[in-house]
């Protein structure tokens, strides 16, 4: 995780609802750290805002994963480290796959 300061790298901001952010971030933002490691991006979070930095392609993948899993979490489906890793891998390997559908169809 970054210390909250943004660098001059390609970046993106995502706004989530309070319930989504609490369910998605994990304890002490542990889920976001998993996503940082898997996709090689830098993530900082403040309240319900997520800031992504890194390679443009990886930032877009991370944004896709966070958005989809935020919607999954809003449905009350638990999101943990395993789901973060799976979603990141799936987003990279199969961009046309609906992450939201992937996680909700199995429920």
pTM of the model: 0.82
**Rounded to the nearest 5°, which phi and psi values hold at 43?**
-125, 135
Tens digit of pLDDT at every position of the chain (107 positions): 445 544 445 688 888 888 888 888 888 889 899 999 988 999 998 888 899 999 999 999 999 999 999 899 888 899 999 999 999 999 999 989 999 999 988 66
Contacts 24+ apart (CB under 8 A), 79-86: 79/23, 79/24, 79/26, 79/31, 79/103, 80/26, 80/31, 81/26, 81/30, 81/31, 81/34, 84/31, 84/34, 84/35, 84/38, 85/34, 85/38
Give the span between the Cα atoms of 107 and 6, in whole angstroms.
37
Helix then strand count (H, E) for the chain reads: 5, 3
**pLDDT at residue number 4:** 52
**pLDDT at residue number 6:** 46
Could you tell me whether strands 42-46 and 11-15 are parallel, antiparallel, or unpaired per DSSP bridges?
unpaired
Residue 48: burial class (beta carbons within 10 Å; 0-12, 13-18, 19+):
middle
């Amino acid at each position: 995780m970054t210390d909250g300061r943004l660098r001059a790298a390609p970046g993106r901001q995502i706004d989530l609802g309070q319930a989504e952010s609490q369910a998605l971030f994990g304890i002490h933002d542990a889920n976001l750290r998993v996503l940082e490691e898997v996709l090689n991006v830098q993530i900082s979070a403040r309240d319900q805002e997520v800031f992504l930095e890194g390679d443009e392609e990886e930032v877009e993948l991370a944004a896709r994963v966070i958005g989809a899993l935020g919607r999954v979490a809003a449905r009350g489906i638990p999101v943990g480290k395993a789901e973060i890793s799976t979603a990141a891998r799936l987003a990279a390997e199969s961009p046309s796959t609906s992450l939201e559908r992937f996680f909700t169809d199995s429920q």
